[in-house]
Amino acid sequence: MTGTAGLPPRPIAGVPRAYEFPAVHRFALANGMRVVVAPMPRLPLVTVLALIDAGAASEASGLEGVASLVTRTLAEGAGDLDGAEITARFERLGTAFDASADWDSSVARLTVTRSRLDAAFALFATVLRGATFPPADVARRRDERLAELAQQLAEPRGLADERFAGFLYPPTDRYARSASGTPRSVAALDAEAVRVFYADHYGPRTTTLLLVGDITADQARLLAEAQFGSWVTGARAAAPVEASPGAVRRRVVIVEKEDAPQSELRVGHVGVPRSHPDYLAIVVMNAILGGLFSSRINLNLREKHAFTYGASSGFDWRRGAGPFVVSTAVKSEVTARAVEEIMREIDGLRAAPPEPAEVALATDYLAGVFPIRYESTSAVAGALAGATMFGLPDDWFARYRDRIRAITPTAVHAAARTHLDPDRLMVLAVGDAGVIEAPLAALGLGAVERHASDDDPAEVAR
Amino acid sequence: MRIPVETYTLSNGLRVVLSQDPATPIVAVNLWYHVGSANERAGRTGFAHLFEHMLFQGSEQVGANEHFELVQRAGGTLNGSTWLDRTNYFETMPSHQLEIALWLEADRMARLLPAMTQEKLDTQRDVVKNERRWSVDNQPYGTWWERLPALCFPGDHPFHHSLIGSMEDLSEASLEDVAEFFRTYYTPDNAVLTIAGDFDAPIARTMVERHFGAIPRGNGRPPLADMSVPPTFGGWRREVVPDAVVAPRLFLAFRVPPAGDGDWYAASMLGAVLGLGEGSRLPKRLVRELQIASDAGAYTFDLSKGSDLLICDVTARPGVSAERLETEVAAEVDRLITDGVTAEERERALALLETSWIAGLQSAGARADKLSQFATYKGDPSLVNEEPARHAAVTVEAMNAFARARLGAGNRASLLYVPNAAQEAE
């Protein structure tokens, strides 16, 4: 578009200034613990992150949720300190011990001002090395997790996410159940289960320590050696995760929510592991399909049809094959039409290569926002932890933007044809069956299965 | 730790704030318009927010879906948000793309109306209705953020009515409303433009003048209705809401001074003592010791006119009665009034606030938004740098005096959600 007479014309970009991802220093302590340091000296702030190589995927059957419960109870007792005292000490230092477990790892982290780092780091190490897991506190944290699960399943979005995984993966697959466990599995957990998981998986050989912020590699080495140098445990590395093929046929599932004004929709299938060589092409392909506001699915469902407040797609990256899913919430009456449009966009991206300008939008966006994503110590620590967990090469971040820009329309098209599979799509709607069932059936995608909201496929089949 | 601030005003009244930080090649552009749902006329609830959506639908030189596309193509992020008394629009860009963001903002400030069509309005109206379904109607406890202001402000107060709006009022919004709202409120003299991050100040000034300098001043926005309210509720208001929820949840609100005014800092510090961090009083007592709640916190609503609210937000464990929840939360607040705050609690709160202050400085977008906020509400963006000192200046005695004056039974409003089944059984 050219400028209207008399008005300032559309500007052209200036000259880009060079950006460097923070330099990364890596070393190991004598006990095998790996340390990663990324100095970001702009502000007097440090993020400390311990990445433990054990997540939900390492849990035994029946103990789903134990990795998460370990992280929730780590700071409930250490040495002769109780949980209330540990919390108080961290907070007096202006920080909080924040731990959680995901599929492939567990993470403990805190962000603290530089002047309080030494004290906070010592307490951080005390907790990680010496957690005592008092039974009463484990029981309380377990019950809090059960309350959280009840809240999550009462919420249409949470219920849709949970059931999508449950119906998508076979009940024998760990991925069929939430990473934090199910009501049944969590209810069975106790201090003994938590202690066993901790003893098996927490130790110097399974832990990578990341220090990011106002700190040098030498300072980090001194701190790490002082607090973790004498740590010895019998913990072993996690077993590799088997990739699951997941459901191989098309399914349409309604999870009933009477009188719902909207349907929470999930459309997708099992994706591929993070280690897949097509990773970057899939990232760009997904950005075009549904990863951005300006992506095809959002422009179609929101800006063209006004079916929804927003629609997006994503691949959930794990060591095993996590789901690919399109997520949206649409007015009940248009549920089937929204499914049709989603399928049309998936078919469309498979039918022909996207125009170079559309690919450039995605690649320029992904390369451009890279520095914006990594403004904070916490974001850089999280990114480096992810790279460690997935075993990415050391130059991953340095080369990321060039590699993204090198993705071509042909590569995007190939990724769509290989990694989007209309014949395997599962459609799941949490909504008012009375309104949405007949139109969904009329799409001809297969028989429509109806399930009550408390009908948990992963539990029923066990 | 101060945010650098340079401020000036264009001849059309647009206030400009520049804040340089060349550490990374990123620049944030942030515009606050001093208009929100409080400025809506009767029968048009939700309009300020619907209007925000229309600002992403193009302007004279920008096509329908181009606003998002041009920013994303440039490698930037963007959004906007509407609050009771302001609306903001913001982009974070690679620094060499600063001018495209300024051009986009200026084109829609100067020339929005040529791009407005009935079809775009109808589409965004439906998008917003879906936003309402998603965030309010189909969400457990989702009505709290329209019920709480309704409970806490009188019926004729500008903060009383719903920000997201009623379905009926959204249906009524017309293109004429869009034009009128635009001409009245979206004028340079009713806005603050902040640029924060990596830029060259003289060049940025030239760009700002080039794109915003010729936009005519507005005709003067109509004055807001009187926002003042008595300092306390004068009693204990209660609203019980049966809802499709699995456990009771209580919002216990206290009327406090407008955000950023005098004693408001005592309210903010008391909020931290009560509910910032797991070691604060409400989580320690209700979650750890009594084990009747799964979640407990306290925060200010951050309203800058008339009165702000300090809110205790506590979710019960399933099976715990709403009465028990309310009784125990109130007992904990009473204990704070009776026993007083300790010096250690004050130090804890200040340490947590200090870390979060420094952490917040990391993001160019967050710095820009804070500067726009203080320029809009307080007339001086550099006041943002006084925030840590103003919190630190609150003594234990001041907190205790404030708690006695403002947290008692004469200044409380309870919004209490109860599971549908429990309500029927009573």
User: What DSSP string describes A300-355?
Assistant: IIIIIT--EEEEEEEE---SS-PEEEEEEEEEGGGHHHHHHHHHHHHHHHHHSPPP
Residues 6+ apart with CB under 8 A from B15: B7, B8, B9, B191, B192, B193, B375
In a domain, A201, yes or no: yes
Please tell me if residue A330 touches chain B, with a CB cutoff of 8 Å: yes
Residues 6+ apart with CB under 8 A from B89: B30, B31, B33, B52, B55, B78, B79, B80, B105
Complex ipTM above 0.90? yes
Give the number of domains in chain A: 2
Cα A334 to Cα A253, A323, A447, B153: the distances in Å are 16, 25, 19, 37
CA distance A419 to A351: 13
Q: Is the pLDDT of residue B7 over 60?
A: yes
In a domain, A356, yes or no: yes
Q: Which of A202-206, A256-260, B252-256 has the lowest mean pLDDT?
A: A256-260
**List of chain B residues whose C-beta atoms are within 8 Å of the C-beta of residue A43:** 1, 358, 361-362
Q: Is the pLDDT of residue A221 over 80?
A: yes
Instruction: Give the model confidence (pLDDT) of A73-105 as tens digits.
Output: 999 999 999 999 999 999 999 999 999 999 999
Whose structure tokens read 């028989």?
A447
Cβ distance A155 to B140 less than 8 Å, yes or no, reads: yes
Please tell me if residue B294 touches chain A, with a CB cutoff of 8 Å: yes
Q: Is the pLDDT of residue B422 over 60?
A: no
The domains of chain B, with CATH numbers, are 6-212 (3.30.830.10), 235-425 (3.30.830.10)
For residue A2, the model assigns a pLDDT of 45
Residue B74: which of A304, A368, A370 has the nearest Cβ?
A368
Q: A380 to chain B: nearest residue by CA?
A: B362
In a domain, A18, yes or no: no
Residue A371: which of B94, B244, B362 has the nearest Cβ?
B94
**Strand, coil or helix: A177:** coil
| Token pair belonging to A20 | 């460097």
Cβ distance A11 to B64 less than 8 Å, yes or no, reads: no
| Stretch A286-303: mean pLDDT | 96
**Strand, coil or helix: B113:** helix
Average pLDDT over chain A, rounded to whole?
94
In a domain, A241, yes or no: no
My answer on whether A189 and A52 are in the same domain is yes
In a domain, A239, yes or no: no
My answer on whether A213 and A257 are in the same domain is no
**List of chain B residues whose C-beta atoms are within 8 Å of the C-beta of residue A112:** 355
Q: Cα Rg for chain B, rounded, in angstroms? A: 23
Q: Is the pLDDT of residue B423 over 60?
A: no
For residue B271, the model assigns a pLDDT of 98
For residue A1, the model assigns a pLDDT of 42
Q: Cα Rg for chain A, rounded, in angstroms? A: 24
Q: Which of A236-245, A299-308, B21-30, B268-277 has the lowest mean pLDDT?
A: A236-245
CA distance B36 to A450: 44
CA distance B89 to B83: 12
**List of chain B residues whose C-beta atoms are within 8 Å of the C-beta of residue A7:** 60-61, 107, 111
In a domain, A40, yes or no: yes
For residue B424, the model assigns a pLDDT of 47
For residue A459, the model assigns a pLDDT of 75
> Chain B, 134-163: which have a CB under 8 Å from a chain A CB?
134-135, 137-140
Residue A10: which of B24, B103, B128 has the nearest Cβ?
B103
Taking alpha carbons only, the member of A346, A344, A329, A300 closest to residue A443 is: A344
Q: A47 to chain B: nearest residue by CA?
A: B359
Helices (H), B20-166: 47-54, 66-73, 98-111, 118-132, 144-152
Q: Amino acid identity of A418?
A: T
Q: Is the pLDDT of residue A227 over 90?
A: yes
Please tell me if residue B74 touches chain A, with a CB cutoff of 8 Å: yes
Q: Is the pLDDT of residue B426 over 50?
A: no
Q: Is the pLDDT of residue A246 over 80?
A: no
Instruction: Give the model confidence (pLDDT) of B50-107 as tens digits.
Output: 999 999 999 999 999 899 999 999 999 999 999 999 999 999 999 999 999 999 999 9
CA distance B142 to B243: 10
CA distance A130 to A82: 12
My answer on whether A273 and A171 are in the same domain is no
Whose structure tokens read 């457990």?
B140
My answer on whether A274 and A171 are in the same domain is no
What is the bridge-based pairing of β-strands B87-94 and B293-300? Answer: unpaired
Query: Of A162, A195, A228, which one is at a domain's C-terminal end?
Result: A228
For residue B357, the model assigns a pLDDT of 95
Cβ distance B97 to A116 less than 8 Å, yes or no, reads: no
In a domain, A63, yes or no: yes
My answer on whether A46 and A138 are in the same domain is yes
Q: Is the pLDDT of residue B285 over 80?
A: yes
Q: What is this structure's pTM? A: 0.96
Average pLDDT over chain B, rounded to whole?
96
- Of chain A, the end-to-end C-alpha distance in Å amounts to 60
| Stretch B36-41: mean pLDDT | 95
Q: Which domain holds residue A55?
A: 25-228
Instruction: Give the model confidence (pLDDT) of B211-256 as tens digits.
Output: 999 999 999 889 888 999 999 999 999 999 999 999 999 999 999 9
For residue A242, the model assigns a pLDDT of 67
| Token pair belonging to A34 | 């790996």
My answer on whether A115 and A154 are in the same domain is yes
My answer on whether A183 and A267 are in the same domain is no
Please tell me if residue A232 touches chain B, with a CB cutoff of 8 Å: no
**Angle CA B403–B408–B413, to nearest 5:** 115
In a domain, A4, yes or no: no
For residue B242, the model assigns a pLDDT of 96
**List of chain B residues whose C-beta atoms are within 8 Å of the C-beta of residue A1:** 61-63
My answer on whether A33 and A170 are in the same domain is yes
For residue A259, the model assigns a pLDDT of 86
My answer on whether A262 and A400 are in the same domain is yes
CA distance B284 to B336: 13
My answer on whether A290 and A191 are in the same domain is no
Q: Which of A3-17, A250-264, A396-410, B156-170 has the lowest mean pLDDT?
A: A3-17
CA distance A438 to A317: 35
**Angle CA B392–B398–B399, to nearest 5:** 80
| Stretch A195-224: mean pLDDT | 97
Instruction: Give the model confidence (pLDDT) of A421-435 as tens digits.
Output: 999 999 999 999 999
> Chain B, 54-73: which have a CB under 8 Å from a chain A CB?
60-65, 68-69, 72-73
CA A338 to chain B, closest CA, distance in angstroms equals 13
For residue A245, the model assigns a pLDDT of 63
Query: B343-360 vs B364-378: helix axis angle to the nearest 10?
Result: 110
| Stretch A42-66: mean pLDDT | 95
| Stretch A385-392: mean pLDDT | 96
For residue A5, the model assigns a pLDDT of 65
**List of chain A residues whose C-beta atoms are within 8 Å of the C-beta of residue B317:** 143-144, 147
| Stretch A248-270: mean pLDDT | 93
Give the long-range contacts of residues A291-297, CB within 8 A, separation 24 or more. A291/A362, A292/A361, A292/A362, A292/A365, A292/B72, A293/B68, A293/B72, A294/A361, A294/B65, A294/B68, A294/B69, A294/B72, A296/A345, A296/A348, A296/A349, A297/A326, A297/A328, A297/A341, A297/A342, A297/A345
| Token pair belonging to A219 | 């300072």
CATH assignment of the domain containing A433: 3.30.830.10
My answer on whether A211 and A84 are in the same domain is yes
Cβ distance B63 to A91 less than 8 Å, yes or no, reads: no
| Stretch A150-155: mean pLDDT | 94
Most A CBs within 10 Å, among B56, B90, B355, B418, to test the A interface = B355
Query: Of A195, A228, A261, which one is at a domain's C-terminal end?
Result: A228
**Strand, coil or helix: A21:** coil
- Phi and psi (nearest 5°) for B138? -105, 25
Q: Is the pLDDT of residue A3 over 60?
A: no
My answer on whether A213 and A270 are in the same domain is no
